[in-house]
Amino acid sequence: MALPYRWQWRVEKWKNAMRGFFGGEQQPRPKICPACGALVGISATRCHECGTSLRFSLTALSKGLSGLFGSRAPVTSILLVVNIMMFGVSLVATMQAGEAGGLSILWSMNGEILDRLGASGPVPIFYGHQWYRLATAMFLHLGLLHIGMNMMVLMDVGPVLEDLYGSARYLFLYTTTGVLGFLLSAFLGNNAVGASGALMGLIGAMIAVSTKRGGGHMKELRSRLISWVVMIFLIGFWIHADNYAHFGGLASGFALGKLFVDREPMNPREKQRAYALGWIAGIALLASFATMLLHFTVHLPMQPR
């Protein structure tokens, strides 16, 4: 059975890489600048058009990482995978604690397990200075219903904004709005987990985009988004969800949507700025998870959930 074209291309690329590794001869080829797309010389170390380094640059590294996932929305795919992985870890730990039996898997996880995995709360954040929780809490969920609804929204809204802003700025948007949502929530005394603050940030950015563009379609989209937001807040009040995090994410997402240009970065300077934002967000997330692992055995008392 023939492989799909994309996989044929990848296999050929791997073959060429292995040939070079084992000493096979390869003809030198011209290079393409990852920032502006200009064709440069075989031995060039810097692009003659935009000045980007061809040996190392955030643009080249970011494009290489995006290509590993073979998707138009690689960051959304990564976020989905990490959310599912963290849910799996919390579920296994809850089962080992003798809980999560029967239908309780739909809405109940062990509170202490979630605390150790980085749930948000005022005591550990403001008194224990465990600021990493503002990020790790975005990847924890209370049950199958919780993660199921959030991941449906992520896969519905995420690829649209990632395509609009580019993967780097999209990651910055998602991370920043999620962190600010939990910061407001913790400041007002809430213990919380879930991706909904960051997801509300995406919705806030979409509302901002619709306000900057004219036409009946944008007006209709804005109306539907606002109706969606109202429904989310009403459901939040009904089921006692963390509407503080929802509001923090929504407001910060709207603000960033107003600031960001409604297109992918075009010139080298815009690309460098966008990739810098993406790497700041990515490094902050990795550092947060690493710190969570270091603090995993340290338990601070949390308020009752």
Q: Mapped to the 3 state alphabet, what secondary structure does the chain carry?
A: CCCCHHHHHHHHHHHHHHHHHCCCCCCCCCEECCCCCCEECCCCCECCCCCCECCCCHHHHHHHHHHHHCCCCHHHHHHHHHHHHHHHHHHHHHHHCCCCCHHHHHCCCCHHHHHHCCCECHHHHHHCCCCCHHHHHHHCCCCHHHHHHHHHHHHHHHHHHHHHHCHHHHHHHHHHHHHHHHHHHHHCCCCECCCHHHHHHHHHHHHHHHHCCCCHHHHHHHHHHHHHHHHHHHHHHHHCCCHHHHHHHHHHHHHHHHHCCCCCCCCHHHHHHHHHHHHHHHHHHHHHHHHHHHCCCCCCCCCCC
- Tally of domains within the chain: 1
**Confidence band for 26, pLDDT divided at 50, 70 and 90:** very low
User: Does 300 map to a domain?
Assistant: no
- State how far the alpha carbon of 24 is from the alpha carbons of 14, 18, 19, 30, 185, in Å: 13, 8, 5, 19, 58
pTM exceeding the 0.85 threshold for the entire prediction: no
The answer to whether residue 173 is domain-embedded is: yes
Instruction: Give pLDDT tens digits for 285-300.
Output: 999 999 999 987 765 4
pLDDT of residue 3: 53
Please report, for the domain that includes residue 88, its CATH number. 1.20.1540.10
Does 171 fall in a domain? yes
Residue of 113, 102, 88, 193 whose CA lies nearest to 150: 193
Higher pLDDT, 31 or 242: 242
Active site residue 295: no
In a domain, 215, yes or no: yes
Catalytic residue among 167, 196, 210, 288: 196
| Active-site residue, from 146, 246, 252, 288 | 246
Contact 140, 116 (CB under 8 A): no
Range of the domain at 211: 72-294
Query: Looking at the predicted structure, is the pLDDT value of residue 62 above 70?
Result: no
Question: Looking at the domain assignment, is residue 152 inside a domain?
Answer: yes
Query: Is the confidence at residue 35, as pLDDT, over 80?
Result: no
User: Residue 300 is encoded by which pair of tokens?
Assistant: 């601070």
pLDDT at 94: 86
Residue 58 within a domain: no
pLDDT of 172 > 80? The answer is yes
Domain assignment present for 189: yes
136, part of any domain: yes
- Catalytic annotation on 217? no
